[in-house]
Amino acid sequence: MLSMVNAYAPVCLPPEVERALDRGHEKKTHCDSVFRSLLGVSLDSYPHISLAPRNEQSSVPGERKRTKAVFLAAVIAIFIATLWPFDPFVRNGVTWLQGTRGLKFEKPGVVVSKEYLKPGETTGSYSLEFLVRPASWKSGTILGFYSDAPPTQLLIAQSGDRLIVTHDVAMQSGKIATMEFHLSHVLLPGRLALVTLSSGPDGTAVYLDGKTAVSIPLLKFSRSELSGHIVLGTAPASYEPWEGELQGLAIYSKELKIEDALRHYEEWTDPSGSDEDDGAIAHYRFAEAAGSEILSDVPSGPQLEIPAIFSVPHKPFLRSAKKEFKAARSYAKDVLLNIAGFVPLGLIACAYFSWTRSRWKAILIAISACGALSFVIEVLQYYIPPRFSGTTDILTNTLGAAVGAALIRSGAVRQALKETKLIRS
């Protein structure tokens, strides 16, 4: 009689009930109905009878703990790989030069304008010049202009000895097209150079130390790309820190001729020179030598600020996958790596949840948990300067987790998990 079974003795049950328990039914109501139909009694009368499968009553707790430990280790590994070093409060590496005017940028460092630069209406000719001494051959963005509407950027960067000008153009369709121009043998580490970019109706002339270096017919600066925040030392929307010295910056609403560039070179490099602004709309000599504020020599130039903490000023938060898409091999490689990186996590997560859930429920929960984990990571990456925050990673990570979770249906994979005791035998 079932009523005579000792609470701590093995329980002999009919085959139908044995099979029900071996399949690991989770709902007590189902097992209760089996008991009622076969024995005419309810499980409520025998609270000492466990609903867990027989093999779970012995070795299951230890094996489940092993699976949990592997799962937690995988989560920690993902966090370390995507967030390390977790330091949202990086000291700004901008200091004043000693013995001469100018700023020194040590990685990472940034200077930003408090307000937008607002060039006046002109015939469409603009020029900018900067006196610079690179510290190394490393790549980085020296100067950038950023506007929110439309979100365009004009970037002046270094890569080796090359000067790189990245130019965003708003198309009639509303899309943004990016053009990039490379000039070699312009930026040499340790060498002070005055770089002048003069844009007019026939394109842009590049002068190096007051001498003509090259002409770029396809590059023309527009008022809209100069109408924005000025950012020095990194790209406005991405982590591209630059190392070196910046000893002068000027922006003009006119086209500079070669004689203008040569005269400006003599004025910038001669300590006794007058440094006339020559009709500039923003002119910075960086002569303050202390403090966190930098003033323009002309009223139209916005005030610059040296923040105490480094950050990417216009870093996007959870940038849309559509905007992140690039028809490039590097983009495809990143997508594949993000998918592959979450396949093991999806598999072990599914193995862990399968201890207490049916197979399909375990798969769905594992995919949801991994997707939520990826979302949290992307939110946290927004606050870490070297990291990017975008939805592409969330989608690809979740897809990788789905692939990993689905692998648990494979007989070979299940056998491997059983042999390692990560799922029940």
Query: Taking the mean position of all CA atoms in its chain, how far away is CA 424?
Result: 39
The 8 Å CB, 24+ separation contacts for 344-347 are 344/74, 344/404, 345/74, 345/75, 345/78, 345/370, 345/373, 345/400, 345/401, 345/404, 346/370, 346/400, 346/401, 346/402, 346/403, 346/404, 346/405, 346/407, 347/404, 347/405, 347/407, 347/408, 347/413
Same-domain check for residues 256 and 146: yes
Give percent helix, percent strand, percent coil of the chain, each to the nearest 5.
Answer: 35, 25, 40
Per residue in 5-40, pLDDT tens? 444 444 455 555 555 555 544 444 555 555 455 555
Q: How many domains does the chain have?
A: 3
Same-domain check for residues 249 and 340: no
Taking alpha carbons only, the member of 172, 154, 173, 155 closest to residue 224 is: 154
Same-domain check for residues 253 and 361: no
Same-domain check for residues 35 and 101: no
- Report the pLDDT value the prediction gives residue 272, as an integer from 0 to 100: 65
Q: Which two tokens stand for residue 28?
A: 């007590």
Same-domain check for residues 32 and 63: no
The structure tokens 């990456």 sit at 381
Using the 8-state DSSP alphabet, how is residue 358 labeled? -
Taking alpha carbons only, the member of 258, 223, 93 closest to residue 147 is: 223
Residue 199 placed within a domain: yes
Residue 315 placed within a domain: no
Taking alpha carbons only, the member of 201, 236, 424, 228 closest to residue 316 is: 236
Pairwise CA distance, residues 87 & 42, whole Å = 58
- Report the pLDDT value the prediction gives residue 3, as an integer from 0 to 100: 40
Spatial CB neighbours of 85, under 8 Å, sequence gap ≥ 6 = none
Pairwise CA distance, residues 237 & 336, whole Å = 24
**In the 3-class helix/strand/coil scheme, how is 68-80 assigned residue by residue?**
HHHHHHHHHHHHH
Q: Output the domain CATH number for residue 255.
A: 2.60.120.200
Residue 367 placed within a domain: yes
Q: Measured between alpha carbons, how far is residue 121 from residues 52, 124, 196, 199, 254 in Å?
A: 79, 8, 21, 15, 10
Residue 7 placed within a domain: no
Per residue in 380-420, pLDDT tens? 999 999 999 999 999 999 999 999 999 999 999 999 999 99
Residue 159 placed within a domain: yes
Same-domain check for residues 262 and 354: no
Q: Which two tokens stand for residue 395?
A: 């989608």
Same-domain check for residues 141 and 254: yes
pTM of the model: 0.81
Residue 1 placed within a domain: no
Q: Give the chain's end-to-end CA distance (angstroms, integer).
A: 31
Same-domain check for residues 44 and 68: no
Is residue 269 within 8 Å of residue 101, measured between CB atoms? no
Residue 229 placed within a domain: yes
Of 307, 335, 370, the residue that ends a domain is: 307
Residue 3 placed within a domain: no
| Cβ atoms < 10 Å from Cβ of 54 | 14
| Low pLDDT (below 50) residues in the chain | 1-11, 24-28, 35, 48, 50, 52-58
Same-domain check for residues 295 and 371: no
Taking alpha carbons only, the member of 110, 157, 116 closest to residue 385 is: 110
Pairwise CA distance, residues 77 & 74, whole Å = 5
Taking alpha carbons only, the member of 159, 167, 137, 256 closest to residue 206 is: 256
Give me the domain span that covers residue 24: 15-51
Q: Which two tokens stand for residue 392?
A: 């592409």
Spatial CB neighbours of 319, under 8 Å, sequence gap ≥ 6 = 388, 389, 390, 391, 392
Same-domain check for residues 29 and 106: no
Element of type H or E holding 322: helix 321-324
Of 283, 307, 331, the residue that ends a domain is: 307
Same-domain check for residues 75 and 122: no
- Report the pLDDT value the prediction gives residue 120, as an integer from 0 to 100: 76
Is residue 156 within 8 Å of residue 179, measured between CB atoms? no
Same-domain check for residues 197 and 104: yes
Is residue 110 within 8 Å of residue 94, measured between CB atoms? yes
- Report the pLDDT value the prediction gives residue 262, as an integer from 0 to 100: 94
Q: Which two tokens stand for residue 158?
A: 């270094």
